[in-house]
Amino acid sequence: MNQILNTDLPTGQEVGETVRVVMGTLFARIQSGEYPTNSRLPSERALAAELGVSRNTVREALDVLETRKMIRRRQGSGSFVTYQSEQVEAPVPGSVGERTSPLDHLIVRSIIEPEMTRLAVMNMTPKQLEKLAQIVARIEAVRTDLTEFIRLEEEFYRWIAKATRNPLLESCYEMTIEVCRSSFRTALMRKHLTPDRIQDYQTRFNSLFNAISARDLESAVEITKLHLVEEQKLFMHET
């Protein structure tokens, strides 16, 4: 998981799963540089509307980010990023990220993602489906910005995980995202994400969204498995 989710909370402070998802989304944007150091975050109202959550949820997430010293809040001015992304460029020695090989990562994803997709097809709410449609639209708008594409890919799968309504599965998948971000896969994707490959990925995301939207469980799971096969081919090409 992200380090902001691993660190113990101050005494008496509890964080719900929706708040954790918002925290993870904001942290990913900060970490990717979308919200650079010293930049001002969107307003609570804007973030709540974009993420499909209440302002109270956003406020809670910002409170925790401030506790983690990721942001600084100024009354009447907003929230400003204080986090330095260089802090997490390399995996911590001995961490799961450092010890996980590309093959390890693919094996875990092949176990988790098909089941995650199956549960999402059955459980995704109209509101979550609408949010997923917005993410797909933003994915389809990317042309050459690899950082943005990778960030949106994470967000896409994070919302599918949330739609499973299984907090443990959601947390497990959050760990795969963190390992992916802190180790090999991001560098591998940056190397191979040509405009043509981005377009191919966009087509897959759109197809998967359409299958989920239609509640077509069999097609959604099959698309997920085929996507993992392509990831495996990319990995094998590197070995």
- Write the pLDDT tens digit of every residue in 104-142: 888 899 999 999 999 999 999 999 999 999 999 999 998
Which residue has tokens 């910002």?
62
Domain with CATH 1.10.10.10 in the chain: 8-88
Q: Where are the beta strands (DSSP E) in the chain?
A: 71-74, 78-81
CATH 1.20.120.530 in the chain is located at 96-238
User: Which band of pLDDT confidence, cut at 50, 70 and 90, is reported for residue 23?
Assistant: confident
Tokens of 125: 């709410």
Q: What is the pLDDT of residue 92?
A: 56
Q: What is the structure's pLDDT at 15?
A: 66
Tell whether the torsion through CA atoms of 24, 172, 139 and 238 is positive or negative.
positive
CA distances from 120 to 133, 159, 202 (A): 14, 9, 20
pLDDT for 139: 93
Q: The whole model's pTM is what?
A: 0.61
pLDDT digits (tens, 9 = 90+) for 53-104: 899 999 999 998 998 888 999 888 889 998 875 444 455 556 676 677 777 8
Helix or strand run (H / E) with residue 170: helix 167-182
Segment 4-22 mean pLDDT: 60
Q: Which of 173, 129, 171 is nearest to 20 (CA)?
A: 171
CA 5 to chain centre: 13
First to last CA, the chain: 27
- Of 51-55, 143-147, 227-231, the range with the lowest mean pLDDT is 143-147
Q: For position 11, what pLDDT does the model report?
A: 35
Place of tokens 């966009």: 202
Q: How many other C-beta atoms lie within 10 A of the C-beta of residue 196?
A: 8
Mean pLDDT of 141-157: 85
Structural contact between residues 102 and 109, judged by C-beta atoms closer than 8 angstroms: no
- Residue labelled with tokens 């719900």: 16
Query: What is the pLDDT at residue 1?
Result: 40
The most confident of 28-42, 159-173, 192-206, by mean pLDDT:
159-173
What pLDDT, on a 0 to 100 scale, did the predictor assign at position 209?
A: 97
CB-based contacts of 52: which residues, under 8 Å, 6+ apart? 127, 128, 130, 131
Q: What CATH number belongs to 8-88?
A: 1.10.10.10
CA-to-CA distance for 64 and 5, rounded, in angstroms?
10
Given this model, what pLDDT does residue 9 score? 41
| pLDDT for position 105 | 82
CA 196 vs CA 1, 137, 143, 211: distances in Å: 31, 18, 9, 23
- Asked if residue 201 has pLDDT above 60, the reply is yes
With vertex at residue 87, the alpha carbon angle to CA 30 and CA 188, rounded to the nearest 5 degrees, is 75
Options 3.40.50.720, 1.25.40.10, 1.20.120.530, 2.60.40.10; CATH of 96-238: 1.20.120.530
